[in-house]
Amino acid sequence: MSLLSSTRRALLGLVAGLPIFRVAQAHGPDAFTLTPQFQAGQGHEYMMTTLQRRQGAVSRHARSRVRLEVVAPHGDGWRLRWMEMDSELLEPPVPSSALADPWDRVAIDFFISAQGDFHGLADPEAMRARMEATVEGQLAQMALDPGNAPQMPQIRAAMRQFVDNPDFLGQQLLKQPKLLLGAVGRDYRVGEPLELRGGVPSPLGTGEIPMLARFNVRSADARRVSLGWLMVVDRQSTARTLAAELQPIMDAAQTEGQEALQMDAALAGFDFDERGDYVVDAETAWPLQVSSERRSAAGDLERVDSVELVRVPG
């Protein structure tokens, strides 16, 4: 695989982790608000299925049980805990020794306001140390492939900068909790789309990507609310922002005699969109079922990440 192709693939992985919720305020008349009704000790479990496809072929298909729990009040909001358990890789087949998930049963605590705004990790230093160990394990596995040897110094240098960036760390670890709670804390009106214009933090947290998002109320009654979700970004602005952020990292990792990689070329033809569905308990705003499909493309590469979370009864 060429350096350009491997860099594009890494970029799609970064974009797949973009946080996209809690980015703008709703405007206009609304009929109801999905305000989370949390209580200390309260929690629900979900079955989470993730599917990743590259160029149309399945590259990873996994399933796990997750729990979202209200730990305690914190300021005007709450401390919540997210934990993934019993992770199972469905595709592709791998040796049993490679199935261990370093994040299985690891508590990821974070803060959220009473309205549902995310306020970051509760213990970022502990999470950074664990992420560092995870990345080192991934690098060790990559180094076993002789084809990766010429690129390993550059890959290692780039990944180290990501691990040391607190904004990137929070984005990666809170991606699924933000997806699950993405519809709460907003005002809705039946028959009128809720349009959100604003920006989302770029993968390294130093820039902003313009976006347009829209929620549509499909149905609403006293028991549950069904919503549709669609988001698109400004492709050219996003490509420029990502290229400007990543070029210094790639330049710093450049080895002597290696051809310089231009990030604007790596991001040629960049595209990105996401769509999904929410079913939410109308009284408590706890999600009942959430699904999302995120598509990102650059050059001749395309990646599609699908996630579904279904609440376990009880």
3-state secondary structure of 117: coil
CB 129 within 8 A of CB 97: no
Residues 183-225 pLDDT 10s: 988 888 888 888 887 777 676 666 777 888 899 999 988 899 9
pLDDT for 25: 41
pLDDT average, residue stretch 53-71: 94
Measure the CA–CA gap between 30 and 187, rounded to whole angstroms: 6
pLDDT for 26: 42
Q: Is the model's pLDDT at 81 over the cut of 80?
A: yes
Strands (E), 165-223: 187-188, 194-201, 208-220
pTM beyond cutoff 0.95: no
Q: What is the DSSP secondary structure assignment for residue 164, as one 8-state letter?
A: T
260-283 as b/e: b if 16+ CB within 10 A: ebebeebbeebebebebbbbbbee
Measure the CA–CA gap between 287 and 309, rounded to whole angstroms: 9
Which of 140, 87, 130, 89 lies closest to 109, judged by CA? 130
Q: What's the token pair of residue 255? A: 């080895």
pLDDT for 125: 92
pLDDT for 310: 98
pLDDT band at 35 (very low <50, low <70, confident <90, very high): confident
Q: What's the token pair of residue 149? A: 């040897």
Average pLDDT over all residues of the chain: 82
pLDDT for 72: 96
CA angle 296, 67, 116 (to 5 degrees): 70
Sign for the pseudo-dihedral over CA of 70, 128, 166, 53: negative
Residues 6+ apart with CB under 8 A from 236: none
Which of 88, 91, 87, 89 lies closest to 57, judged by CA? 91
pLDDT for 168: 78
pLDDT for 39: 92
Residues 155-191 pLDDT 10s: 777 777 777 777 778 888 999 999 999 998 888 888 8
Burial label for 29, CB within 10 Å (0-12, 13-18, 19+), is: exposed
pLDDT average, residue stretch 36-44: 93
pLDDT for 254: 65
Q: Is the model's pLDDT at 303 over the cut of 70?
A: yes
pLDDT for 166: 77
pLDDT average, residue stretch 34-46: 93
pLDDT band at 82 (very low <50, low <70, confident <90, very high): very high
pLDDT average, residue stretch 73-81: 95
pLDDT for 311: 98
Measure the CA–CA gap between 187 and 34, rounded to whole angstroms: 7
Q: Is the model's pLDDT at 149 over the cut of 80?
A: no
